[in-house]
Every structure is written in C-alpha cells, then in structure tokens.
Structure 1
Amino acid sequence: MNRRSLAMLAVKLCVVAGAFILLAAHVDIGDALAHLLDLEPAYALATAVLVLLTHWTNAAKLALLLPERSVRALFAATLATQAYTLLLPGQIAGEAVKAFRLGRGRALEAGRIVSSVMFDKMTGVAAGLLVTLGGLASKPGLFGSQFAWLAGGGLVALVLLTAGLSWEPACTALVRLLKGHPVKGHPARRAGWGRWIGERLDRFLDTWRGHAKAPRLIALSLLYGVTAQALAVASSMTLALGLGIDIGYAAWCVVIGALTVILLAPVTIGGLGLRELSLVGMLGLMGVSHDQALALALVILAFQLAVAAVGLLVDLLIPPDPVPDAR
C-alpha cells in the first residue's frame, strides 16, 4: 500500500471516528443497545428473506444485460460484491470487483462486461430515484420540494450521462485518437498503451450504445430496479417495525433512496458512520428518537455484515461459472 492509499485510509478512519464521536455526543448509546433486544426473531427472519430476494432480483436485472450468464452465477457475484463494498471505499469499488469477477479469464470481453455492470448500476440508481420520487409524491411535505428537485436533477444527470456516452462521433474520435489513428487536428502516432485502452474503450462504448438504444431493455431494467428498491425498502421497514419504528412505507422510500445516494460517496470505509449519522438525522426529522434510530442503523449494519460474510465465502470457495461465448 503506497503513501497515498495510506493517507486516504487515514482520512476515512478519521471521518468514521468523527461520525461516531458526534453520535455519542447526541445519542445515549446504552439506550440504543438496549433497543436491540426489542427486535423479535420473526422480523429478523422476514428481513433476511427480503434481503435475499432483493439481491436475487438485482442478479436477474444484470442478466438482462449479460444474457450469457446464469442468474445463479450473477447472484453469487452480487453477494460477493456486498463483501467488497464494505471492505473497499464505496459501492463503486464493489461494482468494479463484480466486473473483474465476471470478466476473469476473458480479457477481450472486459470492456463489454464493465460497460454492462456500469449500465446496470446506472439504471439501479435511476430506479432508486424513481421510487424516492414516488415516496415524495405520496408525502409531499416530508422533506420539502428541494429534495424532489434534487432527485429529479439526479435523474436528468443520468439521462445526460447515458446520452453523452452514446454520442457516436465524439466517442469514435476519442477511440481513434487513443489507438493512434489520425483524427482532425491530431496526426497519426504510435499508440502504445493508448491502443490497449482504446480497444477496450471501443468495446465499452459499443456495448453502452447497444444498451442505450434498446428501449425495451431499459424499461425492463428499470422495472427490475424498481422491484429491487421496493424490496430493499420493505426489508428496512420490517426491521424498523420490529424495533417499534413506524413511519409508513412512503417515508421509507424517501429515507432509503436518500441513504442509497449518500452511501455512493466513498468518504468512509463501507459507509460506516455515514450510514448511522444519516439515519439518525433523517429519522429524527420524523419524530423517531435518536436511540431508536441508532439501534436500527446498527441492526442494518449487522445484516450487511452478515451478507458480506456470505459473499466473501462465495468469492473464496465457489469459483465463477466457466465463461461462455458472448451472444
């Protein structure tokens, strides 16, 4: 690990420590831990089922973009991703590991696989924002119009990103430049590493354009994404009900949607501290006591650690399926 990586790790640990110091200053940790005993086993079991259904739905969603892969294999990759999402800085790093795992042993297909995994993540975030907007529409006074504008702006940004990566003239010029081919204003040159990058980027952009120009595929991906987000919301709500927190499904759509976007920021290790602080703050706005909110955050963390442990075992003990030919 180089100095820069060590410095980043130190910063993240400081952010985690700062978040928990801030929580300790405003929350009775003893009362929060005592609330953990209120969770009935039936609620925990129901949550476990919903969490597995969420990940299975996400695997089926990715199978739309990688049809040569079985849902079972993608489910294993999705579980493995949960482990690396906690171990590495943020969800994006976890998705990178998923792409690497799926592309293991097939370097020439790396661009197509990375593109599909990124497109899948993008539609997943878009689906989460749609569910969030649905919750805000049901409870317009929940967080105010500013939050709706933020969610809507996020959707617009995703559409612009998709369109930008699908704009063929600019993408073709960039790939040709990297490969060393002559482009207007730039003579031909030795490509070196640029050729290697350009070949994979060409495959990445070609796959992205194919996905972006398939309205039925996008609609199905969003449908699966909305279903997965709805299941994720239901799992958090079930845990909350088990701890005596009842704010309604629509409110949970907003809270989980906001939390999903917040945890995209790689500012802590596995979202530790940021998750707990965000939940205590958002639930506090809806009249939930800080100790109850922290208890819920800790139970959610425990479930994520359990899924991550299973994912790590899957990654270490179960080899990926043999890589079939791409369709």
Structure 2
Amino acid sequence: MRLIGHPLFKLLTTILLFVLISLKVDVAEAGKRLLTLPPLFAAAVTATAFFALLVQAYKTKILLPERSVGAILRVSIVSQIYSIVFLGQVGGDIAKAGYLVRTPAELHRIVAAVVFDRITGLIGLLVLGLAGLLFNTQHFDPVIAPTLAFTMVLLLTAMLAMFFLNDASVAKLFGWLPDLISRQLRDTVVATHVFSSSVRTLVASIAMGIAFQAVVVANCAWLGAGLGIDLSLASWAVVICVMSLVLLLPISFGGIGLRDVTLVGLLGGSGVATERALALSLALLGLQLAMAAVGGILTLLPYDKPAAED
C-alpha cells in the first residue's frame, strides 16, 4: 500500500497508461474534438458539475446536520485538490474529514460520517449501473454484461452488509491487519452503525446518493453528446459506474491514464470512435481541474471554522 501511494509510483503509472493510450489513439485528433466544444456549452457543463457537488453537500448534511450546506460544499470543492494530488478519491475523503473536524473528540464521528457518505454514494452508483445494464443489455458484450452485473451485485451486497455486521464480525474482518490499523478501521466501521441504525437516515442517504450520481451521469451524457457520442442514458449509467469504480484505485494522478483506458475500452465496445472517447476523458479531467482550481482559490480566502453551525 505504501508503494501504491508513493508519488513516484503514481507518476510512472500515469505516464505508462497515457503512453499506452497514445499508441492506440490519435491524441491530437482527440484534442481537436475537445476544442470544438462551444465555450458556453463548456461553462454550462462545468456549472452542472458544481451543482452535483451541491447535491452531495445536502447528502452529507443528512449525517452532519450541525454543519451548514455552504461549509460542506466549500470543503467538498477544496477536497478536489487532494483527489488529484494524493490517493485519488480516498485522498479527497481524508481531506474532507480533516476539514470538517473541529475538535479531537468528534474525529471518529466525522470520519464515520464521511465513510458512510462514501458507501451510500457508491450504493447509489451501483444501483444506477445495475439499472442501466438491466434496461440496455444489447449495447454490451454478452460475456461482459453478466460479468459486470455479477461484480456490481457482489459489491452492492458487500456494502450493504457493512451496515449490519455486529462488532464481533467487524473484529474478525480486520483482525489480520496490524493492531493499530485494525483498531482504527474497526472503530470507524462500528461508528457508521450509528447512522445506519436509523432506517430513515440510511434510506435518505442512499436516495440522495442516487440523485447525486444521476446528475453526474446526466452531465456526462450531455458532455458526450456535445462531443458526438450518441448513447442512451442507460448505457451512460453503466459506463460512469464502471469508470467511477476503477477511479477508486489510487494508482495515478487525477485518474489520468486510468480514466482514459477505461473510457476508450468501454465506449469502444459500444462503437464509439476512440478519439471521441479520449476527448470525453480529457474533458472530464478538465472538469476536475476546474473544480480543483476553484478549491485552490477557496483555500487562499480567509475562513474561520464556526464553533457551531445550524
């Protein structure tokens, strides 16, 4: 794990993956396609990406009602920097928890909320992905589709099971790890049970997770259409689900290379030209960089953590 998180390893992986893509795809042509997007269209897609973060902020507030939506949104935008530079989405979640913590006493609760938030978001993603497969199986290889469906069901079952494991099962699950790490993970997972013990909270968080992922899928479909990629929303749900799961792997900077390989492979299987698929990947990277840039500006602005927020 230490090797995977090392910046040199991530840099080498990023370079190797992008070189691999460059050998298969005309990068210059992909760049030209990207530049054909009208500025107003690009601005609208970027605004929608920020709107998705706003939906995510409302989702997080379900778990942390004492925090304001504005404060959570600010943290979510700033955490985009860490998602690019450090351990991918995991790095963003760590930064988000760090910014939300106000006192040492609430550390486990905040970390548990962020973990719970991430899990219910992934549940929403998997629900949309499975629905996409169910309603649009003809667009996917007859071998790949069942494999994707099985993997998604397995992941969905595992994530839901985490909310219902008793303390003894959690201890066994992490028992093989070093004691310090095992104890921290065990305490965090057990702490998430505080949120999942409320059916209302669990259902609301999953529902908001589906809403958030739906905005992301719709925005990617809109962006793809602007680049000449004609796919149904059901197909986009599957593509974005698989891409998002792959990007959980913290092996490249900002998902560069990893995102490209995934989209070129998935969209290529649906008959999309590789240049268009790569143009979409570069556009999604541009959205991430735009959010990180705004996050950088926010870190430069004065901001005091209030003692309490409604």
TM above 0.5: yes
Alpha-carbon offset, residue 161 of structure 1:
2.2
Match runs of 1:125-204 below 5 Å: 125-143=122-140, 144-164=145-165, 167-169=166-168, 204=188
Unaligned runs of 5+ in 2: 174-178
Structure 1 residues 216, 18: CA separation in 2 closer, same or farther (over 3 Å shift)?
same
Q: Secondary structure at the match of 1:16?
A: helix
Alpha-carbon offset, residue 255 of structure 1:
0.6
Tell me the residue number matched to 1:299.
283
1:70 corresponds to 2:71: no
Specify the code of the residue in structure 2 equivalent to 1:60: Y
Alpha-carbon offset, residue 173 of structure 1:
11
CA contact (8 A) 1:43 1:238 kept: no
Aligned equivalents of 1:206, 1:5: Cα separation in 2: 29
1:18 corresponds to 2:23: no
Specify the code of the residue in structure 2 equivalent to 1:73: A
Select the residue among 89, 92, 100 that pairs with 2:90. 92
Unaligned runs of 5+ in 1: 175-192
Per-residue CA deviation, residues 54-101 of structure 1 (Å, 9 max, x unaligned), is 100000000000010011100101111111101112111110110011
Aligned equivalents of 1:229, 1:6: Cα separation in 2: 27
Alpha-carbon offset, residue 107 of structure 1:
0.8
Aligned equivalents of 2:74, 2:68: Cα separation in 1: 10
Q: Secondary structure at the match of 1:67?
A: coil
Q: TM-score, normalised by structure 2?
A: 0.89
Alpha-carbon offset, residue 34 of structure 1:
1.4
Q: Secondary structure at the match of 1:288?
A: coil
1:106 corresponds to 2:103: yes
Specify the code of the residue in structure 1 equivalent to 2:23: A
Q: Secondary structure at the match of 1:267?
A: coil
CA contact (8 A) 2:84 2:255 kept: yes
Q: Which moved more, 1:141-150 or 1:13-22?
A: 141-150
Q: TM-score, normalised by structure 1?
A: 0.85
Q: Secondary structure at the match of 1:74?
A: helix
Select the residue among 267, 273, 277 that pairs with 2:261. 277
Alpha-carbon offset, residue 320 of structure 1:
4.9
Select the residue among 35, 38, 42 that pairs with 2:36. 38
Tell me the residue number matched to 1:315.
299
Q: Which moved more, 1:31-40 or 1:83-92?
A: 31-40
Specify the code of the residue in structure 2 equivalent to 1:23: I
Structure 1 residues 286, 88: CA separation in 2 closer, same or farther (over 3 Å shift)?
same
Aligned equivalents of 2:172, 2:123: Cα separation in 1: 29
Tell me the residue number matched to 1:324.
308
Q: Which moved more, 1:310-319 or 1:146-155?
A: 310-319
Identical-residue share of aligned pairs (%): 33
Structure 1 residues 8, 321: CA separation in 2 closer, same or farther (over 3 Å shift)?
closer
Alpha-carbon offset, residue 38 of structure 1:
2.0
Per-residue CA deviation, residues 105-150 of structure 1 (Å, 9 max, x unaligned), is 4111101100011000000011100011111111023332111111
1:122 corresponds to 2:119: yes
Per-residue CA deviation, residues 6-57 of structure 1 (Å, 9 max, x unaligned), is 9822221111111111111111122111112321234213212221111000
Tell me the residue number matched to 1:258.
242
Q: Which moved more, 1:120-129 or 1:33-42?
A: 33-42
Aligned equivalents of 1:324, 1:83: Cα separation in 2: 26
